[in-house]
Structure 1
Amino acid sequence: MARSLGKRGKAGIGACLLGLALLLSACQPGPPEPSPRPSPGTPSSSPAPSSSSPAPPSSDAAPAPGEPVHFTAQGDIGVSTGAKKVLDVVAGLNPQLNLALGDFAYKAGLERQFCDMVTARLGEDFPYQLVTGNHESDGHDGDIEKFVQCLPNKLPGIQGEYGTQWRVDVPAQNPVVRFILVSPGIDFRDGPLDYSRDSERWRWTADAIDDAKSQNIPWTVVGMHTPCLSIGNYDCQAGQDFTNMLIEKKVDLVLSGHDHVYQRTHQLSTGGDCAELVPASFTSGCLADTDGSMVQGSGTVFATVGVGGVGLYNVHAEDPEMQYFASTSGKNQDPALGTLEVRATADELAARFVPADGYTFSDSFTVRRR
C-alpha cells in the first residue's frame, strides 16, 4: 500500500510545477520591438514632397540586376534660381542617376558652390554623373577637374576618363542600359579632342556601342555636350561623320546640351533614300519613324536638353533641319526649363520632358524592342 505524501512533499511538488511554468513562459516570443526612429536626414518611404522642398533621392536607389533603370538628363545649368528649380524637379522624380551634360557654373571659381547646390538638393551619395561642356573644358569658365573632385563618379564598373570620356553599364550585373559619354567638338587646354573618322576616340566609341550589342544589353544611350542637328544657335559641332556613325550603329538615344533649347528628333536612319545625314539640310528619306511610339532598330532619336537652368535661345523655325524634329521649345516658342526623364526596362524605353515650376511645355516618346 503506497504511502500518502505529507505537507513537505506536496509543497516540493508544487514548487517544481511553478518553476516549470515560469521556464516555459520565458521561452515564448514576446511582442515585437518597435521600429527604430529614423535619424535626421534619413530618406523615408513617404511620397516625395512638393518641388518647393524636395527630399534628396534615396541613397538605396541603385537598381537590382535586370530591374528598370530610371534616370534624368539635362545640361547648361548655372547656379541661378532656374538651376535650383530644375534640381528640385530632379529630386522630386527620385531617379537612380542623373546625366549632367556639360556647362555647369559658367564662371571660374564657382565649382564648389555648384557642387554644394547639387548635393544640397540631391544628397552627397546621389550619382550626379558629369561630362564636360565647353565652358569648363579649357578652364576659362570653370575647371572640369575641380567639378570631378567635388562631384565624383558614384556608379560601379565605370571605364574611361570620368568627366571627359567614359562608359558604364546599369545595373552593373545583367545591365539594362549602357551609357557612353563622349566629348566631340569641344576645346580643351591643348585643343579639341580628336573624334574624326577612325581616330582612337572614334574607335573607342564605336567599340563601346558594338560591345553593348554583343552582350545583348537592351539599350544604348550616348551623351555629349554638343549636338549636330539643331534649330537653336549652333551648327553641327559634334561632327557630321561622328553623328552618322551613331546612326549607322543604331544607337537608341543620343543626348546633348549646348544649345539652350529643348529639341527632340523623330527616329532617324541612313541607307536607302538617305545615304547620310547632312547638316543644314533636310532629306525626307532619313526619317525612319515620325510618331511618338517607335521600334528599336529602326533609327536613332536625338534629344537636346540645354534647359537645365540658364537663359534660353530662340527656336529658328526657318532652319531646314526643323523637319527632323518632333518637338521643340525655346525662348520664343513654349519656353521651359526642365529635365528629360527616362525609364528603361528590358522591353521599353519611355521618356518625357518634365518642366520646372512655372512652365507648362511637355514632350514624351517611347521606343519598344522588337
Structure 2
Amino acid sequence: MTLTHSPRMYSVHRRAAATAVVISLFAPLTTAVSADAQDDAINTKISRIVLGIGSDATEANLAWQSRRSGTQFLEYWPAGEPADVTRVESPAGPYNAAVFYPHEAKMTGLQPETEYVYRVGDERRGWSGQRSFTTGADADSWNFLAMADAQIGVDAKIKEQAAAWDKAVNVATGEHPDSAFIMHLGDQAEGWGAPVAQLEAFTAPEQLQKYRLAVLKGNHETYAPDSHFRDTYFLPNEVGSTANYFFNYNNVLFIGLDGNRASAADIDTHAKFVNDTIAEHGADADWVIVGIHQAPFSQGTHYTDPDVTALRDSLTPKLSEAGVDLVLSGHDHIYTRTHLMNGFTPVIPEGASKSGDILIPEDGEVLYVTSTTATGGKYYDFQDKNGEKHPNIREERARDLAHDSTARWRQDYNPDYTSIDVSPTELKLTTYNINTPYVVDQVTLRKKDDEKPQETSTEQTSTQTPTEESSAAAPTQGETATTAETATEPAPETEKSKPVTITTTQTSEKLVTTTKTLVGKATVTETVTQTSPSTKVVEKTKTVPTTVKETVVQTETVKVPTTITKNAEPQVVTATETSEKVLTETTTSTGKATVTETSTQTSPSTKVVEKTKTVPTTVTATVVKTTTVAVPTTVTKGAEPAATPSSTSAAEKPHGVDTEGSASGSSTSGSSTGGIILTVLAILVGLLASIFAVLVRVNPQWVEDIRNQFNI
C-alpha cells in the first residue's frame, strides 16, 4: 500500500510547523503562576538548589536558579522555632546561557548539632519547598565523605547515571549518617550534550538537601559554558572566578585548586595561594587537606597527560614545602593510594603495603589518594609504568608493574566512596565499594609526636605500621580469585557492618573465621626501647593470666546464579520519513551452571574440600531494534526518485535539511496558488517570531516588565 502527500497536505504541514514555533516562543509569556501572592505557593520556576559548604562550620552557602528576574530571598530558622526566621536578600545575577537568573545567599551563625529549615523564593512568585539539614558537633573528632566523578551524562545516559548517583549518596550517608559534609572531587557532570539536565540530575538527590556539599572544578566542567559551574556552586572564599577557594571546618583547613590551570604561571599561582592560605588561616588547624581533580599520582591513563605531568613535577614539591598533609583527587576512575611522597619522590617502606597501614610522615611528606567514579559511568583500566593497559588485572598480579609512587591500587569496576575520620592526631581513610560489602582500602595518617612505641621489637622503627589485616578484595570483573591468593589476605573485620545486597555478575568471596580460646598463664616480657639520645633497653618479666586465641580463616568462593542481560547496539534502518518504531526481541534460554564451593582450612594443617553442584541459571538477551518507517510520497510521473543514503540516521541529518528530498519538491511544484500564499504567510509569521525571540534574548528585562504590567 502506498501513502501519498497531496500539495494541500504539504502546505498544511508547513503551516502547522510555523504555528508550533510561534506557540513555543510565546508560551513562557502566557503561563501564569498559581497562588501568586500566597506565602505557601510553590515556585516551580526555581531549580538546582544547592546547599553548599560555608567558610566554616557555622556557615552554609545557598545557590539556586530562577526563570524569573528580580530579587529573591533565603529564609532559614531552627526547626521547631518558625518565628525565629533569618531572611537574606539575593538579587538576581546576570541572565546566563541556560536561560536562568542565578542567585546566591549565605547562612551564618549556625549552632552545632542543630536542625535548620530553609527555603528560597519570594512572596509574589512563591517559595521553594522547605528543606532541612543538621549541623555537626563542634569537636576535633568528626567525619566527612569524599566521592569523585559522578560525571552524569556519559554516553548520554543521564537517567541511568542519575539513579546510580542517587544510590551512591544514599549508601554513603546511610552508612555514615553523622558525616559533616560531602566533598565531590570534580566532574560532577559530563558537560557535553545537555549540561543543564546533567546538573539538575547531579543536584537532585534528596540527601544532598541534608548535607552541605563542597565541589572541585573538573575538566568536564570546562566542556560546557563556564556559567554553568559558576552559577550552580557558591564556593566560599573563592579568589575571583578562579575556582581556587578554601574553608575551615573544625580543626581542618581545606583548600580547593582548579587543576585545569596547569601552566607554569598557574602552578606558581596555586602554590602562592596554598602558602598564603595556610599562613593566614591554618594556625588552628591540625591538618591541611588539598583537593585537586587531576590526580598527580595514579595508575590510570591520565598519568602521562601533559597537564598531569606538569602538576606532578612542579606542584607536588611546593605542596610538600607548604606543609600539606593529604591530597584528594579523582579524574582517573581507578583507586590509587601512594606511599608518603616528598614532592614527587616516594618514601618506600620495607615490606608490602596493605589495607590497614598506619603512616607516620616526616616533615614534607604528603599522602595522595585518588578515588574512582561514584557512579560507574566509565572506568579506566590499570596502566603500568610502561604505558601498557591491563584490563581485569588484579593488584596481586601486577606488583612489579605499578609506578614507584603507588602503594595500593584497585580496579574492581565498582563505584566507590571514602569515609574520612578526623581527630587531632589521626586521619583515617576507609574506602568502600558502593555495590558490594567490601572495604577497598584503609590507611591512617598519624602525627609523628603521637607515634606509639612498638612492642617486642628493638631492631627498627618503620614509618608504616600495619595494624589491620588486608581487606578481602572483591574479585575483578570477569576473574575469580584462587584459594592461594585469598588465603594471604584474610580480612573479616573489613566487611561493612551493613552489607548492601545486589545482584551482580561477579564472584563474591566469603570469609569465615573460627576462633578457639584457651585460658591459662603465660610469661610476658615487656621491652622498652629508647633510640635517642642513646639506646636504652629495659626488660620486665612477669607472669600474667592470658587468653590464647587460635583463629582459622576459611575462604569460600561461590558463583551465585544470576540473570545476565546483554543489550545489543541499536540497529537503525533509515528510510525517507521521520517516524520510528522500537521493537524489542527477548530470547530467554535456561540452562545449568556449575557452582564449586572450596573450603580451605589453614591451621593446624591445610585441608581442601571441594563440592560441585549444578544450579539453574537464566540468560536473557535483549535486542533493541529501532526502525524508521518510511511514508512514501507522491512522485511526479517521469521524475527520478530521490536517493537517500541508507546508513544515515535521523540524528545525523543536518538541522534544517528537508528529509523528503526531491519528492517533496515535486509535491510543492504542484501546489495551488492558495497553498503558496499560505506558505508565504507562515514563513512571514515564523520570521516575526524569530525577530521577537532575538529581542527577548537581547533584552530579557523587557519581557519581565510586560509580565509585571499585565500580571502574567
CA distance in 1, matches of 2:426, 2:312: 29
Question: How far did 1:105 drift?
Answer: 1.5
For the structure 1 residues 340 and 193, does the alpha-carbon distance in structure 2 shift closer, same or farther, using more than 3 Å as the test?
farther
For the structure 1 residues 91 and 233, does the alpha-carbon distance in structure 2 shift closer, same or farther, using more than 3 Å as the test?
same
CA distance in 1, matches of 2:329, 2:239: 19
The aligned residue for residue 326 of structure 1 is 407
The aligned residue for residue 4 of structure 1 is none
Question: How far did 1:239 drift?
Answer: 4.1
The answer to whether 1:257 aligns with 2:330 is yes
Residue type at the aligned position of 2:373 = V
1:73-110: per-residue Cα shift (whole Å, max 9, x none)? Answer: 22211231433332222322232111111112203433
Q: Indicate which of 116, 126, 130 corresponds to 2:215.
A: 130
Q: Indicate which of 348, 353, 357 corresponds to 1:287.
A: 348
CA contact (8 A) 2:218 2:260 kept: no
Of 258-267 and 79-88, deviating more is: 79-88
1:236-276: per-residue Cα shift (whole Å, max 9, x none)? Answer: 34341111111233311101111111111121225xxxxxx
CA distance in 1, matches of 2:220, 2:243: 13
CA distance in 1, matches of 2:169, 2:241: 22
The aligned residue for residue 166 of structure 1 is 245
The aligned residue for residue 208 of structure 1 is 277
CA contact (8 A) 2:421 2:428 kept: yes
CA contact (8 A) 1:74 1:101 kept: yes
User: SS at 1:251's partner residue?
Assistant: coil
For the structure 1 residues 163 and 75, does the alpha-carbon distance in structure 2 shift closer, same or farther, using more than 3 Å as the test?
farther
Question: How far did 1:143 drift?
Answer: 4.2
The aligned residue for residue 349 of structure 1 is 427
Matches within 5 A, 1:10-21: none
Question: How far did 1:146 drift?
Answer: 2.3
The answer to whether 1:63 aligns with 2:108 is no
CA distance in 1, matches of 2:207, 2:225: 22
For the structure 1 residues 329 and 144, does the alpha-carbon distance in structure 2 shift closer, same or farther, using more than 3 Å as the test?
farther
Of 75-84 and 338-347, deviating more is: 75-84
The aligned residue for residue 90 of structure 1 is 172
For the structure 1 residues 163 and 256, does the alpha-carbon distance in structure 2 shift closer, same or farther, using more than 3 Å as the test?
farther
CA distance in 2, matches of 1:70, 1:337: 20
1:190-214: per-residue Cα shift (whole Å, max 9, x none)? Answer: xx69423xx333211222234455x
The aligned residue for residue 452 of structure 2 is none
For the structure 1 residues 345 and 143, does the alpha-carbon distance in structure 2 shift closer, same or farther, using more than 3 Å as the test?
farther
- Any unmatched runs of 5+ in structure 1? 1-35, 37-43, 46-56, 271-276, 278-282
The answer to whether 1:146 aligns with 2:228 is yes
CA distance in 1, matches of 2:212, 2:295: 24
The answer to whether 1:109 aligns with 2:194 is yes
Question: How far did 1:117 drift?
Answer: 4.1
Question: How far did 1:131 drift?
Answer: 1.3
User: SS at 1:206's partner residue?
Assistant: helix
CA distance in 1, matches of 2:261, 2:167: 28
CA distance in 1, matches of 2:437, 2:241: 33
Question: How far did 1:366 drift?
Answer: 0.7
Residue type at the aligned position of 1:262 = Y
The answer to whether 1:232 aligns with 2:300 is yes
Aligned length: 288
User: SS at 2:285's partner residue?
Assistant: coil
Residue type at the aligned position of 2:359 = M
Of 302-311 and 315-324, deviating more is: 315-324
User: SS at 1:220's partner residue?
Assistant: strand
Residue type at the aligned position of 2:319 = L
Measured on the aligned residues, the alpha-carbon RMSD in Å equals 3.4
1:320-346: per-residue Cα shift (whole Å, max 9, x none)? Answer: 65232222122xxx3321111101111
- Any unmatched runs of 5+ in structure 2? 1-79, 81-113, 116-130, 153-160, 387-400, 450-712
CA contact (8 A) 1:229 1:321 kept: no
CA distance in 2, matches of 1:297, 1:232: 28
CA distance in 1, matches of 2:277, 2:165: 32
Of 317-326 and 223-232, deviating more is: 317-326
Question: How far did 1:183 drift?
Answer: 1.1
Q: Indicate which of 205, 227, 230 corresponds to 1:120.
A: 205
For the structure 1 residues 130 and 148, does the alpha-carbon distance in structure 2 shift closer, same or farther, using more than 3 Å as the test?
farther
Q: Indicate which of 195, 218, 238 corresponds to 2:266.
A: 195
User: SS at 2:211's partner residue?
Assistant: coil
For the structure 1 residues 118 and 355, does the alpha-carbon distance in structure 2 shift closer, same or farther, using more than 3 Å as the test?
farther
Question: How far did 1:226 drift?
Answer: 0.5
User: SS at 1:195's partner residue?
Assistant: helix
The answer to whether 1:315 aligns with 2:382 is yes
The aligned residue for residue 21 of structure 1 is none
CA distance in 1, matches of 2:342, 2:312: 17
CA distance in 1, matches of 2:444, 2:132: 26
Residue type at the aligned position of 2:410 = S
User: SS at 1:200's partner residue?
Assistant: helix
For the structure 1 residues 200 and 266, does the alpha-carbon distance in structure 2 shift closer, same or farther, using more than 3 Å as the test?
closer
The aligned residue for residue 118 of structure 2 is none
Residue type at the aligned position of 2:360 = V
| Identical aligned residues as a percent | 19
Q: Indicate which of 314, 320, 325 corresponds to 1:241.
A: 314
CA distance in 1, matches of 2:257, 2:322: 16
CA contact (8 A) 1:148 1:163 kept: no
User: SS at 2:231's partner residue?
Assistant: helix
User: SS at 2:404's partner residue?
Assistant: helix
For the structure 1 residues 230 and 258, does the alpha-carbon distance in structure 2 shift closer, same or farther, using more than 3 Å as the test?
same
CA contact (8 A) 1:256 1:306 kept: no
Question: How far did 1:124 drift?
Answer: 2.5
Report the TM-score when normalising by structure 1.
Answer: 0.68
CA distance in 1, matches of 2:421, 2:253: 13
CA distance in 2, matches of 1:241, 1:221: 18
User: SS at 1:303's partner residue?
Assistant: strand
The aligned residue for residue 441 of structure 2 is 363
Residue type at the aligned position of 2:208 = G
User: SS at 1:203's partner residue?
Assistant: helix
1:120-153: per-residue Cα shift (whole Å, max 9, x none)? Answer: 232325211111111112xx2x345324434435
The aligned residue for residue 513 of structure 2 is none
Question: How far did 1:168 drift?
Answer: 0.5
For the structure 1 residues 151 and 121, does the alpha-carbon distance in structure 2 shift closer, same or farther, using more than 3 Å as the test?
farther
For the structure 1 residues 268 and 226, does the alpha-carbon distance in structure 2 shift closer, same or farther, using more than 3 Å as the test?
same
CA distance in 1, matches of 2:339, 2:441: 12
The aligned residue for residue 535 of structure 2 is none
> When you count strand as a share of all residues, which structure comes out higher?
2
The answer to whether 1:178 aligns with 2:285 is no
CA contact (8 A) 1:259 1:313 kept: yes
The aligned residue for residue 12 of structure 1 is none
The aligned residue for residue 336 of structure 1 is 414
